[in-house]
Structure 1
């Protein structure tokens, strides 16, 4: 719920900044001229940034030479675990394993994400004694920002056990 309020606050502040800049640009245009008004508007809105998509969906690859040769003889298991489900967003773990070793894992965020940015620090997935059941431990940081300026950073962990679905490739 707090993410929804945070996103609405971000959106409201952006619209307010845009309206304020437009009014001031109109005043500047009347007094100085159009080129100066355009320059003012450009600089007034330039500090509002978009989050970097490079870290958004960072995929963790766990394969090495040993697991590549071993994995061809084993079953493949896949996960679609919902880690957190808010009013406006979801955290999901997508992982592929061969029954013994994890091949790859990815954290996906969907929904209304305005004002927050997630960065996965680590994903640890281990098999348990039961076939197809894996234990996961995930850590990362969520940055809270207003108009592109980071205000707060929180560390968040997810852990649990889940049965991965068997698929045939």
Structure 2
């Protein structure tokens, strides 16, 4: 099952409580889903969108809190702690600058929009797979060691994204590392 977390900003000029806004948004969802059900039953209107809407399992809206990341540096080593669902990448210029050119790895491609303007290198991507992520021998050794679901060992699911390969370079169909090539 695909899980998508949406964030919707709601603005109003009215003086209304946060709880009332949450109730209004829930009512809008309920009315929209009811309308979609009627469209599916009558086969009149945008049937495909209505059918998809009726298949969605939408949780009740909640007020989102600002995601938090705490980076702790001790002895030149950075460690991070974050709320669930926060995508965090730590890039260390010191390590990057001492690595051999062939083994230098930038940040994952999903950080390109914030990394590139700040001069931080981004991993080269071949198709949907970062070329530096995994090699055929590494993939083979995982299989030989009995690993059949690498996805759940890395993040446990829920960070899949929308492409064929997640940002950890794991194939969403096989749950094993995608092989660069």
Q: Higher RCO, 1 or 2 (CA under 8 Å, sep at least 6)?
A: 1
Structure with greater proportional strand content: 1
Structure with greater proportional helix content: 2
